[in-house]
Amino acid sequence: MLKKFIGDLKREFRGYNGSRLMQDVLAGVTVAAVALPLALAFGVSSGADAAAGLVTAIIGGLIIGILGGASFQISGPTGAMSAILIGIVAQYGLQGVFVASLAAGVVILLAGVLRLGKLVNLIPTSVVMGFTSGIAIIIALGQVDNFFGTTSVGSSALEKLASYVTVGFHPNWQAVVIGLFVVLFMAFWPKKLNAKVPGSLVAIILATIITEAAGFDSLAKVGDIPRSILLETRLNLSQINLEMLQNLVSPIISIAMLGMIESLLCGASASRMKDEPFDANRELIAQGVGNIVLPFFGGVPATAAIARTSVAIKSGLQTRLTGVVHSVVLLLAMLLLSGVMSRLPLSALAGVLMVTAWRMNEWHGIKTIFGRKIWTGVIQFMITMAATVVFDLTIAIVIGIATALVMFVWNAAHLKVETVHVDHERVARLNRMGVSLTDEKASGILITYLNGSLFFANCGELKRAMENIDLKGCEHLILSMRGVPAADISGVQTLMEACEAISKQGVCISVCGVQQSVRSFFDKVGLTDQVGSDHFYGNASEALIDAMTREHVQQTA
């Protein structure tokens, strides 16, 4: 893996010159402009503070960007990660988050070393869309307090929302005005202009100016941002103990799973966008190392961010130096502009997150599964989204995948079995091929077409269908299995029992059109020996020709 990494770096920087460096610098500055408001907002929304979000973007963007599985990944705090961190902070405090991040980093690192990067492909698209939309809902609900200037109680977004019934809902209209201004500004900011000047950055600058000019002193602000990437509140190794790790098992799994899923999905999408190979396992190692290091600086867990990555690519990214420049610019902003950033109203950042939550949804995919009435996708999407909001990410993913598997088995269980006589057109075609076959002779031959997998879920259906074949006057039964893509032991044994019962009625059985993988399984289970390997044919015509030849030989004898 190290040799491949070095080789990829050589190819990436081959022919590197001043022109390409300038493109990397400009792309890095552009990404930093996009990342700055998001880093501040995600830091606050995670339950930590704005400084933690900035440190995560700086350190994560630097380390993961350099070690990553491709040139284009830009990592940092994300809305999805913030949505699950706020619950962890409420229950275990920031030290719990730091410990969970460290342990999750180790898990992600091991996943990369063990080359488990391809496992993310086992998660259905509708499940991924479901938990993305669920996380978007959690982010939006989690920003109600900041957006409206209210106070709620509870650890989860739903608990906070429900608490308004008991504690009351008394909005601060200054906060609402600023929040709405940011939402509307971002919504109407031209897309073409957004590629050069991020609407979120302009919105929070204007919102801050309005707040100061109008004297909105009752608004909650970001607060002090230290001029250091080594925050005062960071991982304390002396507080780690076995009991804490046991309590944090679920958060650790959630952070690790989300880190892997979000980073690999981002990489796969960006790989197509930039037409560049993506090494999933090396990306996991980079994400693991980054999340192991971040807690020692006071940062929260990071993942690759599709919004920032796509901006980098569209801005002319050439190499992974774009990510380095992005981190340097954010560091300079932290050192030089911390005083200004400390005055940012939280309602403005809440507005940014509200719009971000809306845009997180994969609307094209959602429109497709609902518009085309793909009910399996709709059910998977709805169940996963609801589970994400009600439970946590780990449970939601398990429920989503379990739902997908159940629905797959349900759909795959439908087996179509159709038995037909040899028609006159086929008889005529065989006669033109030199096979002596009359309609009278053909009447003693039946062809049964099987379409669907032969497995445990449809054994009963297979047994009934085979028993219902009308064998009156039948001398030869041809089983056409071109439409059988897979089989398991239960399905094959059921077919063997049916074939044995048919053979006892004096009917000769042939099999045709079997796919190679299915034929190999037939060989192992014993169906080939039962029917006879010389009774297997490439297609129904070959089986018919041989059936007539055998009949002719028997009559001559």
Place of tokens 């589970």: 387
Ordered alpha helix ranges (H), 315-423: 321-341, 346-360, 363-371, 375-390, 393-412
Residues 109 and 26 in one domain: yes
Q: What are phi and psi of 230, to 5 degrees?
A: -100, 95
518-546: per-residue pLDDT in tens?
999 999 999 999 999 999 999 888 888 87
Residues 401 and 468 in one domain: no
What percentage of the chain's residues is helix, strand, coil (to nearest 5)? 70, 5, 25
Looking at the DSSP assignment, which residues form a beta bridge with residue 452? none
- Exposure of 203 by Cβ count < 10 A (0-12 exposed, 13-18 middle, 19+ buried)? buried
pLDDT at 549: 65
Residues 431 and 346 in one domain: no
247-258: per-residue pLDDT in tens?
889 889 989 988
Mean pLDDT of the chain: 88
Distance between CA atoms of residues 442 and 317, nearest Å: 69
| Contact status, residue 273 vs residue 73, Cβ threshold 8 Å | no
535: left (phi over 0), alpha (psi -120 to 50) or beta: alpha
Ordered alpha helix ranges (H), 342-374: 346-360, 363-371
Range from 16-25, 92-101, 326-335, 436-445 carrying the lowest mean pLDDT:
436-445
Residues 324 and 419 in one domain: no
147-175: per-residue pLDDT in tens?
999 888 776 677 778 888 888 888 999 99
Residue 232 lies in a domain: no
| Contact status, residue 136 vs residue 79, Cβ threshold 8 Å | yes
Residues 452 and 308 in one domain: no
What distance lies between CA 370 and its chain's CA centroid? 19
Q: Letter for the amino acid at 211? A: T
| Strand order from edge to edge, sheet including 536-537 | 416-421, 445-451, 476-483, 508-512, 536-537
Distance between CA atoms of residues 528 and 89, nearest Å: 61
Please identify, among 408, 433, 458, the residue that sits at the C-terminal boundary of a domain: 408
| Contact status, residue 59 vs residue 330, Cβ threshold 8 Å | no
358-410: per-residue pLDDT in tens?
988 889 999 999 998 888 889 989 998 998 888 866 688 788 888 888 887 78
Mean pLDDT in residue range 449-468? 93
pLDDT at 556: 41
- Exposure of 445 by Cβ count < 10 A (0-12 exposed, 13-18 middle, 19+ buried)? buried
Query: Which pTM does this prediction carry?
Result: 0.75
Q: How confident is the model at residue 437 (pLDDT cuts 50, 70, 90)?
A: low
Residues 163 and 273 in one domain: yes
pLDDT at 435: 64
Range from 51-60, 412-421, 422-431, 478-487 carrying the lowest mean pLDDT:
422-431
Structural domain range at position 510: 414-556
Q: How confident is the model at residue 86 (pLDDT cuts 50, 70, 90)?
A: confident
Residue 164 lies in a domain: yes
| Contact status, residue 250 vs residue 392, Cβ threshold 8 Å | yes
Ordered alpha helix ranges (H), 46-121: 50-55, 61-67, 79-113
pLDDT at 554: 45
Distance between CA atoms of residues 554 and 547, nearest Å: 11
- Whose CA is closest to 382, among 395, 405, 366? 366
Distance between CA atoms of residues 326 and 36, nearest Å: 10
pLDDT at 438: 65
Residues 346 and 451 in one domain: no
Q: What are phi and psi of 464, to 5 degrees?
A: -65, -40
**Domains held by the chain: number:** 2
Mean pLDDT in residue range 200-219? 91
Residue 343 lies in a domain: yes
Residue 235 lies in a domain: no
Q: Could you give the angle at the alpha carbon of 430 between the alpha carbons of 427 and 436, nearest 5°?
A: 85
Residues 58 and 200 in one domain: yes
Q: How confident is the model at residue 139 (pLDDT cuts 50, 70, 90)?
A: confident
Q: How confident is the model at residue 553 (pLDDT cuts 50, 70, 90)?
A: very low
* CATH number, domain with residue 507: 3.30.750.24
Q: Which 3 state secondary structure label does DSSP give 62?
A: helix
pLDDT at 148: 92
Residue 336 lies in a domain: yes
Mean pLDDT in residue range 136-148? 87
Residues 291 and 338 in one domain: yes
Residue 233 lies in a domain: no
What distance lies between CA 134 and its chain's CA centroid? 13
Place of tokens 């497709």: 368
Mean pLDDT in residue range 280-308? 94
- N- to C-terminal Cα distance for the chain? 69
Please identify, among 386, 408, 430, the residue that sits at the C-terminal boundary of a domain: 408
Q: Is the pLDDT of residue 552 over 60?
A: no
Distance between CA atoms of residues 453 and 446, nearest Å: 21
Cα torsion through 80, 82, 88, 92, rounded to 10:
160
pLDDT at 429: 74
Q: How confident is the model at residue 551 (pLDDT cuts 50, 70, 90)?
A: low
Residues 317 and 389 in one domain: yes
Q: Is the pLDDT of residue 423 over 90?
A: no
Range from 230-244, 423-437, 463-477 carrying the lowest mean pLDDT:
423-437
Residues 393 and 343 in one domain: yes
SS (H, E, C) 5-43: HHHHHHHHCCCCCHHHHHHHHHHHHHHHHHHHHHHHHHH
Residue 234 lies in a domain: no
2-14: per-residue pLDDT in tens?
888 899 899 999 9
Please identify, among 408, 432, 456, the residue that sits at the C-terminal boundary of a domain: 408
Residues 146 and 265 in one domain: yes
Q: How confident is the model at residue 234 (pLDDT cuts 50, 70, 90)?
A: very high
- Whose CA is closest to 259, among 303, 216, 222, 297? 303
Distance between CA atoms of residues 143 and 79, nearest Å: 11
Residue 280 lies in a domain: yes
Q: How confident is the model at residue 557 (pLDDT cuts 50, 70, 90)?
A: very low
